[in-house]
Structure formats: C-alpha cells, structure tokens
C-alpha cells in the first residue's frame, strides 16, 4: 500500500487547561503519526461545523461617539453604548434613535440601503457622528473621524454609504505546528505575509443560530508538510480583519493526513 490515511475528528468541547474554542490545542504524542524519510505527507481540513452564534453588536462594536460644536465654538462629546446582541436594520435604527434623539435621527432608505441622517440641533450647532472601526459599516460612515450630520432640507440631511450589518464574513482557520515548505500568503494584517492559514469558511449567508457547515470536496486547501512526526497542533480562529473570534461557539473539525511513498 503506497498511501496511509489518518482521519482526525476533533471537537472543541473537550478542552484542557487554558484552551478556548478560538485557540485550541490538540496533543497527539500517543497516537504516533510519523513520516519516514522515504515518505511525503499532506494535510487538509475536509469538514467543519459550528453554530452561527456571533453577535454583530459585541464588546467592540457597541460603542460610538457624538460630538456637538456650538456657534460659540464650544465642543461637547458624548459616548454611547448599545446592548450586546444581534441587530437587524430596524433594531439598530430604533436603538440608535432612542439613544441619540436629542442630537440626530436616522431613517432607512430601503431602495438605496442607506441611512438618511438629519440633525435635531439648532441651525447654528453642528452635529458629528463618530463610529469606530468595528461598527462603521453599520452606520455607513467612515470610522474614527467627525462625520457631519446636516439639518434636513426637503427631508434630506446626510446620506450614509451602503450599509452592511454583518460584522465579518469569513472564518479563517490557522493550524500551528506544521512544517510547511510552501506556506500560504495573505494580507489580512494589511501587509503581505506568509502564514498558517489552512481553511477559509464563508458564514455570510448563514442565519443567526443556524449551522455553519463546510465540506472540502475538491481538496482546495490541501497542504504539503515536512514534519517528521506530529505531536501537537494548535487551531486558531480569526476573521478577515485578522481579529480573533473570541465568541466562536464549540465546533467540529475533520482533518485528513495523507502519507505517501516518494516517487
């Protein structure tokens, strides 16, 4: 037989020590996965499942700021927080309007999928809305700058950009502990880097509370490895913004290791 297969069925439910669902260690020292000098090995994630339990309003995205500048050039800054949870367009609009009714009102334009912001302050007072990098696309505005909210003229104040209420779209799975002659290349950290990405799972179209399910039927993410033996693997979960998915639910992952004789 020229090929050997090791199929690993791994669940994050069984954690040890400081392990978490987003940073999980698997110890294989007693299993004996060894690659001889006349052999070559490949590894790939063939399946993955987890619940779509992520909140779009979480500890990072729940905070935003409103700034007021009066005609006497006095500035007042107000910080707000939304309750953690999953918000659709109308939940989000209602919650923000309740918090900020003294300063501005946001209304939803369904045809454009944009907000129309209108100032509720006097004409001599300027209103600015300042979202952070985690919720800017919910507001449809630029992050960490003063976005001016104009008074209504014929019902129109300040239109936002197109709104996206998904805080991320991809689950990126990295496996540490592999010796790879050719590593993956990515720029998720804003620069080109060689990394340990082993799989990318799309969760954009999964409803809240539904199962995110991935099957690699075409071996898209198969990787050659040069390990002599495999004793420990660490699974790291992040999104396309290189942020750890600290709120990922427990998961099931299927890993296939193929060992072949060299030609």
153-176 confidence digits (pLDDT tens): 888 899 999 999 988 889 999 999
- What Cα–Cα distance (Å) separates residue 260 from each residue in 2, 47, 50, 74, 158? 6, 22, 31, 73, 62
Asked whether 183 and 58 are in contact (CB, 8 A), the reply is no
Distance CA 45, CA 223 (A): 10
pLDDT, residue 77, reads: 97
Domain ranges in the chain are 3-54+168-261, 63-159
Topology of 3-54+168-261 in CATH?
A: Jelly Rolls (2.60.120)
103-142 confidence digits (pLDDT tens): 999 999 999 999 999 999 988 899 999 999 999 999 999 9
Task: Report CA torsion sign: 223, 178, 171, 44.
Answer: positive
207-239 confidence digits (pLDDT tens): 888 999 999 887 778 999 999 999 999 999 999
pTM of the model: 0.83
Contacts of 138 (CB under 8 A, 6+ apart): 56, 61, 87, 92, 131, 163, 164, 165, 167
List the beta bridge partners of residue 201. Answer: 171
Distance CA 35, CA 231 (A): 12
pLDDT, residue 190, reads: 78
pLDDT, residue 154, reads: 87
pLDDT, residue 167, reads: 82
Q: For the chain, how big is the Rg over CA atoms in Å? A: 24
Residue 262 has pLDDT above 90, yes or no: no
pLDDT, residue 1, reads: 57
């Amino acid at each position: 037989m020229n090929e050997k297969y090791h199929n690993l069925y791994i669940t994050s439910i069984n954690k040890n020590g400081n392990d978490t669902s987003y940073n999980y260690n698997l110890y294989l020292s007693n299993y004996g996965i060894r690659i001889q000098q006349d052999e070559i090995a490949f590894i790939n994630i063939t399946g993955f499942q987890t619940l779509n339990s992520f909140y779009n309003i979480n500890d990072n995205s729940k905070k935003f700021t409103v700034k007021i500048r009066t005609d006497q050039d006095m500035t007042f800054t107000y910080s707000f927080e939304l309750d953690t949870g999953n918000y659709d367009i109308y939940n989000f609009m209602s919650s923000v309007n309740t918090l900020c009714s003294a300063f501005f009102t946001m209304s939803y334009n369904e045809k454009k999928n944009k907000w129309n912001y209108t100032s509720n302050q006097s004409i001599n007072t300027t209103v600015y809305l300042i979202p952070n990098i985690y919720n800017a696309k919910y507001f449809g505005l630029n992050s960490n700058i003063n976005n001016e909210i104009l008074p209504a003229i014929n019902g129109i104040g300040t239109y936002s950009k197109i709104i996206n209420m998904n805080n991320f779209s991809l689950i990126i799975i990295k496996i540490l502990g592999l010796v790879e002659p050719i590593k993956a290349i990515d720029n998720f950290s804003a620069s080109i880097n060689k990394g340990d990405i082993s799989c990318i799972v799309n969760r954009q179209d999964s409803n809240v509370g539904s199962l995110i399910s991935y099957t690699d039927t075409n071996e898209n993410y198969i990787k050659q490895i040069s390990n002599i033996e495999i004793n420990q693997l660490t699974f790291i979960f992040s999104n396309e913004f290189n942020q750890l998915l600290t709120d990922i639910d427990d998961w099931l992952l299927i890993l296939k290791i193929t060992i072949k004789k060299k030609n």
